[in-house]
Amino acid sequence: MTTAQTIQDVQDTPPRSNAMDRLTELEAKVNKLERQAEGPLDTWQKRGSFMALLIGIVLSGYSLFETFYAKPKDAALHDIEEFNHAVNEVANLRQGLIRTQLESKNPQLTMAMSSMTMPQILANIQYATALLPKLGDDVGVPQLIVLIGEAMNIYDWRSAELLVDRAIHSPKAIPTMRSEAYRYKARLNFMTGKAQEGRKAFEDSLNAIREEPGFGINGARAYIVSDWVISEFNLGDCSIGNERVTQFLRLLDDPQVQQMAKEGMRATLKAQLMQSSHCPMPSEL
């Protein structure tokens, strides 16, 4: 073979494709085969995957709702029910004890009932007090006052102080209920030897209903002052006690206060002062 023929053969040979061109051709062939092989089942599978994803998102949202809203709300309702149940138990136990004292003429039976009832009252008071941090502003002041009175009756000062503080600072308390809370705070302070703080609380109790325009509201004010009189006489501060007696009678003179209420409060105050040996009976009564 001559040199001229060899050169001619090389010129007639077509150039080879590079590696990138071959890969591009192969990818095009694969895509074409996939499009040809795709049928209705593949389409439904894609749609099913999307639906599964959507359902997963919905279920995740529901789970978050249950975790952060529904379950805490159910727990809060359960705590409120438990609190109210404890309050009702305390009230029922006290009513049963009073009924026994009134109906039974056997002092041993009365003492036995009292020794059985007091621990139950104390247990319910402390359980209700332990629930307070969980209840927020949903606690009613009337329920708190029931617990306060019983805590004071059994000398549970710690629970009484917590309950009084909660009642006074309740944002939902109407003026008359706030006044009652302050009245119990005053009594509690006097019973624990804090007379000056007790006087301040009695003043706060009166101020809480100072602007109340209700008919016969001076009867409620007189009731507060009668407690103040008893507290002063029990501590032996007769001069301040007599000043409060004058205030009490002045409030009772209001013609809007019913006559039956006047006679009842006057008689009750006189009967309670007769039990005090620190001060003589005020002549005005």
**Tens digits of per-residue pLDDT, 192-204?**
999 999 999 999 9
Closest CA to 265 of 209, 210, 219: 219
Lowest mean pLDDT among 96-105, 151-160, 167-176: 96-105
Give residue 201's pLDDT: 97
Residue of 11 and 107 predicted with greater confidence? 107
**What backbone phi and psi angles, to 5 degrees, belong to 140?**
-80, 140
CA dihedral 93, 99, 269, 228 (to 10 degrees): 0
Find the mean pLDDT for residues 77-85.
Answer: 86
Give residue 52's pLDDT: 60
Find the mean pLDDT for residues 25-35.
Answer: 60
Q: How many percent of the chain have pLDDT more than 90?
A: 45
In the chain, which ranges are continuous DSSP H helix? 3-12, 19-37, 40-65, 71-103, 107-135, 141-153, 157-168, 175-191, 195-208, 217-235, 238-252, 259-273
Lowest mean pLDDT among 17-26, 113-122, 136-145: 17-26
Find all residues with CB under 8 Å of 153, minimum gap 6, and list them.
94, 121
Find the mean pLDDT for residues 228-234.
Answer: 94
For residue 70, pLDDT beyond 50: no
Q: Answer left, alpha or beta for residue 279, where phi above 0 means left and psi between -120 and 50 means alpha.
A: beta
Find the mean pLDDT for residues 31-49.
Answer: 54
For residue 67, pLDDT beyond 50: yes
What is the greatest pairwise CA distance in the chain?
156
Give residue 260's pLDDT: 93
For residue 57, pLDDT beyond 90: no
d(CA 126, CA 121): 9
Q: What is the amino acid identity at position 133?
A: P
Q: What is the amino acid identity at position 240?
A: I
Residue 3's pLDDT band (cuts 50, 70, 90): very low
Give residue 19's pLDDT: 61
Q: What is the amino acid identity at position 223?
A: Y
